[in-house]
Amino acid sequence: MESTERFDATRGNLRSWLLTQSHARAVETIRSLTARRQREINDAHKAARGAYDMQHEAWDVVLAEDVKKALGELPRRSAAPSNSRISKLYVH
């Protein structure tokens, strides 16, 4: 609160000055609380999105393991086509 030395009786009475100071302090407190609540809400949303991303990442890991397992169960084939196949492709 403002210092009582700043009160100037020529500009108004003490009661008006005290009410003005109290009102200003109340408005400042409400704005501060509102800003803090909004920051907490924003942080909660960020944390929720982070958890959502972690769930997707975990799912991707599980899915990748399943794909690797399925690929391992496929019949083995040569990684590259044989030379005879390649030559047939270029023969007209």
Domain boundaries, the chain: 4-69
The pTM is what? 0.46
Binned at pLDDT 50, 70 and 90, residue 79 comes out as low
Binned at pLDDT 50, 70 and 90, residue 73 comes out as confident
* C-alpha to C-alpha distances, 50 to 19, 87, 92, nearest whole angstrom: 46, 53, 58
Supply 29's token pair: 């407190």
Residue whose C-alpha is closest to residue 18's, from 34, 30, 32, 3: 3
